[in-house]
Amino acid sequence: MGAFIFGRVTHELKAEYWPTADQDPDISAELVKFAGIWREMPKFVFSRN
């Protein structure tokens, strides 16, 4: 996989959480790993606006 593809609303929701998710001491090791992947992966966002 080379990029994430999101609708605007979904991207806005994810962009609130994932950039700093790995700083939460209560999340699992898998989610810490995914937070890093999310930050580094290119993102394409689609919107009707």
Q: What is the pLDDT of residues 2-27, one digit of tens each?
A: 999 999 999 999 999 999 999 999 99
pLDDT over threshold 80, residue 42: yes
For 5, the enclosing helix (H) or strand (E) is strand 4-7
Amino acid at 44: F
Task: Please give the model's pTM, rounded to 2 decimal places.
Answer: 0.78
pLDDT over threshold 90, residue 1: no
User: How many domains is the chain built from?
Assistant: 1
Q: Which domain holds residue 37?
A: 4-46
Amino acid at 28: S
Per-residue pLDDT, 39: 95
Q: Give the whole-angstrom CA distance, residue 49 versus residue 38.
A: 24
- Please tell me whether residue 34 adopts helix, strand or coil conformation: helix
